[in-house]
């Protein structure tokens, strides 16, 4: 038996609060774009909503209460603050990257707002994954390597990137700022060779086909030592939960335990990416019953997964409450 | 090859900031209590730190910078705010539960601060997992069922609980407040019978042996429909990442995809639990080289996992950038 639609509820309570464009609806729901488009088309066909002047409106009433925003307004819901080291590095980064290379379609690029580089670095710092660490970045149109170097915290930073505009830009700024970043042009579809088990942390925002995800993360996992960590961006927009299931199973079968999943952690704003020319090439734009315009608001967000390379162990499964690790559970017969 | 110790770094930079008791150190690191005790004992043996008047002190110097707190001060790092519906329900809950049943060792009980019931409910609300939903709570010494009922949002709430003090208390308050909560006394180690696939969401804070985790979550998964969700508490304190790996693999093999992992989401304060008598029965207290006192600060936190029951699908793995779901990736040859 299948549950009644959670997506329908997320949409109707959002539209009840106020009419929304397609792009405004995206951050108010959890599902993939494919599922979202299907649901909206169904709701229009059933006469529950209508689409007028680029906005979705309720046709009748709904018992649902208007959507209540539950995210902290101070940290925009991330739970993290950017100050001291991380704020100083962010200011420098923004000044130094004013003329950075813009996304090109050939490599499926897209830039997160630099504030999310700072938040990612702050979260990594809390885990002990940045200060004094050897970090490798697999694909770096976001320029995370530069941000990390500007904090002065990592021991070593290496970047693997195919796009000459980006490798050139990183080298130029690193030289200017006198920070050390090793930049390598390498094809991730081949074995990583001498880089194997040379790092403690890898960072990547892979393409989202299952093949692309596995290729980037396989390379990342091969570069890190045992108990090393990986930071991987993954969306709910271009990956359904069935794809998440396949990807997570593959991670675990490679001894990568998932330690954190931070939903919609990084936002990719329209104005930084200047990718309005891309839209005509998106399959999405040809697929909808309702006519889509270029976005007027930011909508593309990516979740952040942290994984860690661990060894397998066997656990006794004799007692419901106790095993060798539950040492603050009251012992029987003590 | 194994990475140099992330735990050692987390400890030394924390102690460098100021001397810490064992209990104060716990929230500043990520590892299990067993690993933490081993590391501290090793650092004492190696002369890196010493233990004096219940506090750990640095013996020499360290290159690490003092620990920087990166958590938002407004939401205590959760990213969530408690207002409107969730704040009103919290005020009512706190008044109504002043004389609630306290934890007893027999059922491995422990109470999270009610503010985390509110935060859990707010996060569930955002997902569409509380308003109009049929929710089952497996084990409820936290009284989440009462909090959820007081928001007025769920369609139906059922509780499974063995402790007569708790079932009695829930029934009494529910009657007084005229909210409907179905309370069942049931053994979770047996098949769940008529409750199968009757709910859209389950909530549980299971015991942390692998057997206990599986027993509670197996019961939860059997009660929910396809695309239903589960909220499961799990700590890093009593479960090593190797145990997390085993548990996550088991989840996925049961078609439960992990959609969120919110680290240290819920705090279990000392003063609410009044469990100072428990400490003498904790295996931990007999295991350490350094002498432990009863805690002077809160230290027990639990992470929140959200899982969802999904169907398996096959994905084509032909292109690095594109599959049938990546519809906002620029298409080739368009």
- Report the pLDDT averaged over residues A237-243: 96
Contacts with B83 (C-beta within 8 Å, 6 or more apart), sequence order:
none
- B 126-145 residues with CB < 8 A to A: 126-129, 131-132
Q: A190 and chain B: CB distance < 8 Å anywhere?
A: no
pLDDT digits (tens, 9 = 90+) for B207-230: 999 999 999 999 999 999 999 999
CB contact under 8 A, B77 and A79: yes
Question: Closest approach of chain A CAs to the CA of B99, in angstroms?
Answer: 23
Band (A282; pLDDT cuts 50, 70, 90) = confident
Specify the pLDDT at position A266: 97
Specify the pLDDT at position A332: 55
Run of H or E residues at B283: none
Specify the pLDDT at position A48: 97
Distance CA A121, CA A81 (A): 11
Distance CA B302, CA A145 (A): 32
Contacts with B178 (C-beta within 8 Å, 6 or more apart), sequence order:
none
Which residues from chain A sit within 8 angstroms of residue B327, using beta carbons? Answer: 33-34, 238, 282-284, 287
CB contact under 8 A, B70 and A313: no
Q: Is the pLDDT of residue B99 over 60?
A: yes
Quick count: other Cβ atoms within 10 Å of Cβ A250? 16
Helix (H, G, I), strand (E, B) or coil at A321: coil
Interstrand relation of A49-52 and A55-58 (parallel, antiparallel or unpaired): antiparallel
Band (B333; pLDDT cuts 50, 70, 90) = very low
Please state, rounded to an integer, the average pLDDT across all residues of chain B. Answer: 93
- Report the pLDDT averaged over residues B49-57: 97
Q: B66 and chain A: CB distance < 8 Å anywhere?
A: no
**Of residues B271 and B113, which shows the higher confidence score?**
B113
pLDDT digits (tens, 9 = 90+) for A42-56: 999 999 999 999 999
pLDDT digits (tens, 9 = 90+) for B109-153: 888 999 999 999 999 999 999 999 999 999 999 999 999 999 999
Distance CA B278, CA B276 (A): 5
CB contact under 8 A, B227 and A3: yes
Of B273, B138, B74, B157, residue with least CA distance to A73:
B74
Q: Is the pLDDT of residue B334 over 70?
A: no
The total number of residues written for chain A in this structure? 334
pLDDT digits (tens, 9 = 90+) for A85-103: 999 999 999 999 999 998 8
Q: Which two tokens stand for residue A242?
A: 């069935």
Band (A322; pLDDT cuts 50, 70, 90) = confident
pLDDT digits (tens, 9 = 90+) for A131-172: 999 999 999 999 999 999 999 999 999 999 999 999 999 999
Of A178, A143, A181, A185, residue with least CA distance to A164:
A185
Specify the pLDDT at position A323: 87
Which of A224, A261, A282 shows the shortest C-beta gap to B260? A261
Which residues from chain A sit within 8 angstroms of residue B105, using beta carbons? Answer: 330
Q: Look up residue B327 and give its DSSP letter.
A: T
- Predicted-assembly ipTM surpassing the 0.90 threshold: yes
**Of residues A68 and B195, which shows the higher confidence score?**
A68
Q: Is the pLDDT of residue A105 over 90?
A: no
Specify the pLDDT at position B191: 73
- A 39-58 residues with CB < 8 A to B: none
Q: Is the pLDDT of residue A194 over 80?
A: no
Which residues from chain A sit within 8 angstroms of residue B212, using beta carbons? Answer: 319-321
Count how many Cα atoms sit within 13 Å of the Cα of residue B275 in the half-sphere of its side chain.
27
Interstrand relation of A199-204 and A134-138 (parallel, antiparallel or unpaired): parallel
CB contact under 8 A, B282 and A329: yes
Specify the pLDDT at position B331: 67
Specify the pLDDT at position B4: 84
Helix (H, G, I), strand (E, B) or coil at A160: strand
Q: A276 and chain B: CB distance < 8 Å anywhere?
A: no
Which residues from chain B sit within 8 angstroms of residue A281, using beta carbons? Answer: 330-331, 334
Query: Are residues A149 and A174 in contact, defined by beta-carbon separation less than 8 angstroms?
Result: yes
Which of A9, A132, A319 shows the shortest C-beta gap to B211? A319
Angle, nearest 10°, between helix axes A241-253 and A210-223? 30
Which of A32, A70, A240 shows the shortest C-beta gap to B81? A70
Band (A334; pLDDT cuts 50, 70, 90) = very low
Which of B105, B128, B319 shows the shortest C-beta gap to A330? B105
pLDDT digits (tens, 9 = 90+) for A70-86: 999 999 999 999 999 99
- Report the pLDDT averaged over residues B95-103: 92
pLDDT digits (tens, 9 = 90+) for B320-331: 888 888 888 876
Specify the pLDDT at position A331: 67
Of A97, A104, A111, A139, residue with least CA distance to A231:
A139
Q: Is the pLDDT of residue A117 over 80?
A: yes
**Of residues A256 and B316, which shows the higher confidence score?**
A256
Specify the pLDDT at position A231: 98
CB contact under 8 A, A312 and B242: yes
Sign (positive or negative) of CA dihedral A189, A194, A197, A199 = negative
- A 226-265 residues with CB < 8 A to B: 226-229, 237-246, 248-249, 252, 255, 257-261, 263
Count how many Cα atoms sit within 13 Å of the Cα of residue B113 in the half-sphere of its side chain.
15
Q: Is the pLDDT of residue B200 over 70?
A: yes
Q: Is the pLDDT of residue A276 over 80?
A: no
Which residues from chain A sit within 8 angstroms of residue B73, using beta carbons? Answer: 74, 81
- Report the pLDDT averaged over residues A28-48: 97
Which residues from chain A sit within 8 angstroms of residue B243, using beta carbons? Answer: 313, 315, 325
Distance CA B1, CA A223 (A): 11
- Report the pLDDT averaged over residues A180-198: 86
Sign (positive or negative) of CA dihedral B124, B130, B133, B136 = positive
Question: Which chain B residue has its CA at the smallest distance from A236's CA?
Answer: B259
Distance CA A323, CA A24 (A): 48
CB contact under 8 A, B72 and A68: no
Domains delineated in chain A? 6-58 (1.10.10), 84-309 (3.40.50.150)
Band (B100; pLDDT cuts 50, 70, 90) = very high
- Report the pLDDT averaged over residues B267-296: 86
Query: Are residues B110 and B300 in contact, defined by beta-carbon separation less than 8 angstroms?
Result: yes
Distance CA A109, CA A102 (A): 8
Band (B77; pLDDT cuts 50, 70, 90) = very high
Helix (H, G, I), strand (E, B) or coil at B314: coil
CB contact under 8 A, B300 and A226: no
CB contact under 8 A, A4 and B65: no
- B 138-177 residues with CB < 8 A to A: none
* CB < 8 Å & 24+ apart, contacts of A281-285: A281/A105, A281/B330, A281/B331, A281/B334, A282/B327, A282/B328, A282/B329, A282/B330, A282/B331, A283/B326, A283/B327, A283/B328, A283/B329, A283/B331, A283/B334, A284/A33, A284/A37, A284/B327, A284/B328
Q: Is the pLDDT of residue B332 over 60?
A: no
Question: Which chain A residue has its CA at the smallest distance from B78's CA?
Answer: A79
Which residues from chain B sit within 8 angstroms of residue A131, using beta carbons? Answer: 9, 13, 64-65
Q: B333 and chain A: CB distance < 8 Å anywhere?
A: no
């Amino acid at each position: 038996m299948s549950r009644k639609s959670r997506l329908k509820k997320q949409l109707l309570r959002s539209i009840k609060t106020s009419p929304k464009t397609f792009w405004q609806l995206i951050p108010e729901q959890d599902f993939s774009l494919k599922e979202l488009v299907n649901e909206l088309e169904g709701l229009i066909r059933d006469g529950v909503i209508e689409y007028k002047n680029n906005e979705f409106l309720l046709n009748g009433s709904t018992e649902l209460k208007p959507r209540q925003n539950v995210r902290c307004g101070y940290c925009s819901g991330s739970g993290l603050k950017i100050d001291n080291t991380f704020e100083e590095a962010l200011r420098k980064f923004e000044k130094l990257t004013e003329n950075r290379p813009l996304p090109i379609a050939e490599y499926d690029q897209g830039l997160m707002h630099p504030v999310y580089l700072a938040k990612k670095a702050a979260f990594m710092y809390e885990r002990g994954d940045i200060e004094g660490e050897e970090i490798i970045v697999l694909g770096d149109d976001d320029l995370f390597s530069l941000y990390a170097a500007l904090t002065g915290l990592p021991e070593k930073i290496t970047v693997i990137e195919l796009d000459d505009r980006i490798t050139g830009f990183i080298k130029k700024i690193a030289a200017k700022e006198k920070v050390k970043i090793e930049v390598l042009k390498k094809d991730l579809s081949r074995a990583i060779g001498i880089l194997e088990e040379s790092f403690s942390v890898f960072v990547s925002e892979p393409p989202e086909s299952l093949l692309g995800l596995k290729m980037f993360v396989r390379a990342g996992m091969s570069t890190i030592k045992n108990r090393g960590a990986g930071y991987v961006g993954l969306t709910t927009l271009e990956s359904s939960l069935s794809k998440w299931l396949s990807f997570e199973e593959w991670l675990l079968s490679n001894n990568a335990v998932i330690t954190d999943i931070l939903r919609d952690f990084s936002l990719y704003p329209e104005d930084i990416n200047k990718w309005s020319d891309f839209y005509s090439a998106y399959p999405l734009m040809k697929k909808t019953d309702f006519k889509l315009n270029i976005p007027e608001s930011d909508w593309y967000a990516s979740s952040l997964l942290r994984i860690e390379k661990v060894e397998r162990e066997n656990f006794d499964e004799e007692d419901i409450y106790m095993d060798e690790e539950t040492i603050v559970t009251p012992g029987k017969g003590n």
